Amino acid sequence: MRLKPDNILSLPARPVPYAVLGSPINHSLSPVMQQAAFDQLGLEARYFRIEVDEEGLAKAVTRLRQVPFGGWNCTVPNKVKMVELCDRRAESAEQFGAVNTVTNEKGVLVGHNTDGTGWSRAMREAFGRGPDEMRIVLLGSGGAGRAIATQAILEKCPELVVANRNPARARDMLAHLNAQFADGPLARTAQNLRMIRWEDEALEKALREADVVVNATSAGLDPKAAPVLQARMIPGNLLVFDSVYGAGCAKFRQEVETAGATWSDGLGMLLHQGAAAFSLWTGQTAPVEIMRRALLSNLPVPTK
């Protein structure tokens, strides 16, 4: 259910309100997924979508505290701004420099990030192995790209190669990761964390030497944009994980299938970050299959 920021204060404290905060927010599938989970476990809770951007976020959070909300998710463009609006940050929020889940612990707002573990679980579910066993080519260095790269390093992936259309952004991300993981067992070398140019030849070479390519670009959301990779560039034995789901991944999926490679969309990532958020709020195991069914039956366009 959609809720305007101005109406937050008119909500009763029961059923306990939860929400996803973002802009645009109409397309978000979090409400159907989370409401299905609350209903399945018989919890008296109501999950809303609230259209709010970075500018309005602080005011909205003040209101969410007053009702009070049980917790909320943040999506584009609010994940970074939410870090400073929390009273405390869990280790995951510090590691990712972004918050996608807030728990309200007796008035203390605690920021968490479940995007990385959500991606990792989805990879294991789709391909039967995780980032620790995979040489990864990562396309994209935006919010999702950063979360995936961080999780890959936390799980000691043997090789991470990054390409981004705008090379400055990839360079920034690598500098940040190298600083964050400068010492200790997770420290990276120029060999196992590097960037390549966003050019066919460099990409093709990297893909031949990889186990999986992860698409963390938003190219699929632009109907006019070409697929991020053409079929001729994709080795048939490659695993392909697209963080996009629904209609946005159709063109890329077509290229991957033409190449004969193994493809997974990003629905599992959405599902598992949501399931982890649900457990943080309720302390209960999330009914993952109920949540998955809710997602699949509410997708605008069928997907795998």
Ligand X SMILES: NC(=O)c1ccc[n+]([C@@H]2O[C@H](COP(=O)([O-])OP(=O)(O)OC[C@H]3O[C@@H](n4cnc5c(N)ncnc54)[C@H](OP(=O)(O)O)[C@@H]3O)[C@@H](O)[C@H]2O)c1
By CB under 6 A, tell whether 166 contacts ligand X. yes
Residue 229 beta carbon to ligand X: minimum distance, rounded to whole angstroms: 10
Stretch of residues binding ligand X (CB under 6 A), selected from 15-23, 53-61, 211-219, 296-304: 211-219
Q: How far, in Å, CA of 304 to CA of 63, rounded?
A: 39
Backbone CA torsion sign across 155, 250, 256, 224? negative
Show the site string, 128-157: x = touches ligand X by CB under 6 A, - = not. ------------xxxxxx------------
Contacts of 25 (CB under 8 A, 6+ apart): 2, 49, 50, 51, 52, 75
Q: By CB under 6 A, tell whether 165 contacts ligand X.
A: yes
Count of residues near ligand X by CB under 6 A: 26
Annotation marks residue 79 as catalytic: yes
Give residue for tokens 């789709």: 126
Options 6, 94, 222, 289; binder of ligand X; rule CB under 6 A? 222
Residue 149's nearest CA partner among 111, 225, 98 is 98
Instruction: Cite the DSSP H helix spans in the chain.
Output: 30-40, 54-66, 81-85, 91-96, 115-127, 143-154, 167-180, 200-208, 250-259, 267-282, 288-298
Q: Which of 79, 81, 106, 224 is catalytic?
A: 79
Residue closer to ligand X, measured from CB, 43 or 80: 80
3 state SS of 142 = coil
Residues 19-58 that bind ligand X (CB under 6 A): none
| Chain residues that interact with ligand X, rule: CB under 6 A | 76, 140-145, 164-166, 169, 216-219, 221-222, 225, 228, 243-245, 266, 269-270, 273
